[in-house]
């Protein structure tokens, strides 16, 4: 995966909430939807994307050099509705992400939108194939120092998927006080939503960016 920093000029004004996306392409390539990895207004008119080098458009994006031009759409979507999970009502917040799905989660953390300091338990279950395919590993210590526990789940090591690891040892005493953020494959979202709903978690507190 490649971190791509783009100066998008005035388009950055449309980026107001973590979880929002843009479409990006190079020349005549097919546009790719990508969630923004930097926090809103973090670097002025610059946004950060996390690109997995897989597919024609992604390969082109991963090969651009400083000063090259790419096409970027206006910012898309309404982002994560974190206002639906206030810390006083949901002191436990569990995040599930896979692959490049960690990009908008990084934006959430760096924007302080999770209100980590006012919650009892904030953790991320981040699923990848192995450590070499894990983005932002260099930020793990910083995130944990800020109160966000990071649980890496490596499917290539036989650990299964993030939902498998969580459901084996959820460590939750009060399910009514749990909120969740989901960012990954459709199967992940469906599986985690079903499990949390069975436990009594309020569906309004299960947050996605779509």
User: pLDDT 10s per residue in the chain (210 long)?
Assistant: 899 999 999 999 999 999 999 999 999 999 999 999 999 987 789 999 999 999 999 999 999 999 999 999 999 999 999 999 999 999 999 999 999 999 999 999 999 999 999 999 999 999 999 999 999 999 999 999 999 999 999 999 999 999 999 999 999 999 999 999 999 888 889 999 999 999 999 999 999 998
Are residues 106 and 189 located together in one domain of the fold?
yes
Q: Are the beta carbons of 62 and 5 closer than 8 angstroms?
A: no
Count: domains in the chain:
2
Are residues 18 and 58 located together in one domain of the fold?
yes
In a domain, 77, yes or no: no
Q: Are the beta carbons of 70 and 104 closer than 8 angstroms?
A: no
Residue 48 is part of which domain span? 2-72
Largest Cα separation within the chain, whole Å, is: 53
- CATH code of 169's domain: 3.40.50.80
In a domain, 43, yes or no: yes
Are residues 188 and 109 located together in one domain of the fold?
yes
Are residues 62 and 107 located together in one domain of the fold?
no
Are residues 68 and 99 located together in one domain of the fold?
no
Are residues 67 and 105 located together in one domain of the fold?
no
- CATH code of 45's domain: 2.40.30
Q: Are the beta carbons of 75 and 15 closer than 8 angstroms?
A: yes
What does the angle CA 204 – CA 50 – CA 79 come to, to the nearest 5 degrees? Answer: 25
pTM metric for this prediction:
0.94
Last-in-domain residue among 72, 90, 115: 72
Q: Are the beta carbons of 107 and 139 closer than 8 angstroms?
A: no
Last-in-domain residue among 72, 91, 121: 72
Are residues 98 and 59 located together in one domain of the fold?
no
């Amino acid at each position: 995966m490649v971190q791509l920093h783009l100066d998008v000029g005035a388009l950055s004004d449309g980026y107001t909430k973590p979880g929002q996306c843009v479409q990006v392409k190079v020349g005549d390539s097919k546009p790719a939807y990508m969630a923004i990895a930097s926090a809103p207004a973090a670097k002025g008119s610059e946004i950060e994307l996390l690109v997995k080098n897989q597919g024609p458009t992604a390969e082109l994006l991963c090969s651009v050099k400083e000063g090259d031009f790419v096409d970027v759409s206006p910012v898309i979507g309404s982002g994560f509705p974190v206002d639906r999970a206030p810390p006083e009502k949901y002191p436990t917040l569990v995040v599930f992400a896979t692959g490049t799905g960690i990009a908008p989660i990084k934006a959430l953390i760096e924007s302080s939108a999770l209100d980590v300091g006012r919650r009892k338990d904030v953790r991320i279950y981040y699923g990848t194939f192995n450590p070499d395919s894990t983005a932002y590993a260099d930020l793990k210590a910083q995130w944990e120092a800020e109160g966000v526990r990071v649980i890496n789940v490596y499917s290539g090591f036989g650990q299964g998927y993030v939902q498998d690891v969580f459901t084996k040892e959820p460590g939750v005493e009060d399910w009514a006080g749990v909120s969740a953020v989901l960012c990954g494959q459709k199967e992940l979202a469906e599986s985690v939503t079903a499990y949390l709903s069975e436990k009594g978690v309020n569906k309004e507190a299960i947050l996605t960016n779509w």
